[in-house]
């Protein structure tokens, strides 16, 4: 079956999270130059951060909630569609949440310069 109970809306949550993450990266001038925006002459133009740090921190918090929501909706979707049973639902959910937590820890360590 491959899900479909929620008409694949979990991917819309993922797209919102991706857009928010991109905005945060732009505000922090962390967008790689090859991903950046160029002016009409092809020169890289850095984004000017106009968001207060407190706002960016809350956006980052929201981003994590969106990523978790996408995981939950995806796994619930598979369960309700009959693709997973109770044991595999719990196992898959815990695995995906652990991956998200690991990604979050790596990002924090990179920000602190502890991991490159």
Residue 79 in tokens: 């369960």
For residue 2, tell me if it sits in a domain.
Answer: no
Residue 73 lies in a domain: yes
Residue 116 domain-assigned?
no
- Residue 104: the pLDDT is 81
Number of domains in the chain: 1
**Residue pLDDT tens, the chain, 116 long:** 577 888 889 999 999 999 998 888 888 877 666 666 667 787 766 667 778 999 999 999 999 999 999 999 999 999 999 999 999 999 999 999 999 988 887 876 676 566 55
16 part of a folded domain? yes
Give the structural domain span for 98.
10-111
The answer to the question of residue 81 being in a domain is yes
- 17 within some domain: yes
Whether residue 5 lies inside any domain: the answer is no
- Inside any domain, residue 1: no
């Amino acid at each position: 079956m491959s899900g479909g109970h929620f008409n694949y809306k979990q991917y819309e949550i993922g797209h919102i999270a991706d857009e928010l993450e991109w905005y945060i990266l732009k505000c922090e001038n962390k967008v790689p130059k090859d991903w950046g925006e160029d002016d009409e002459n092809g020169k890289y133009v850095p984004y000017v951060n106009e968001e207060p740090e407190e706002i960016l921190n809350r956006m980052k918090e929201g981003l994590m909630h969106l990523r978790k929501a996408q995981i939950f909706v995806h796994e619930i979707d598979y369960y309700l569609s009959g693709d997973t049973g109770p044991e595999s639902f719990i196992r898959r959910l815990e695995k995906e949440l652990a991956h998200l937590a690991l990604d979050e820890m790596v990002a924090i360590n990179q920000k602190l310069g502890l991991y490159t």
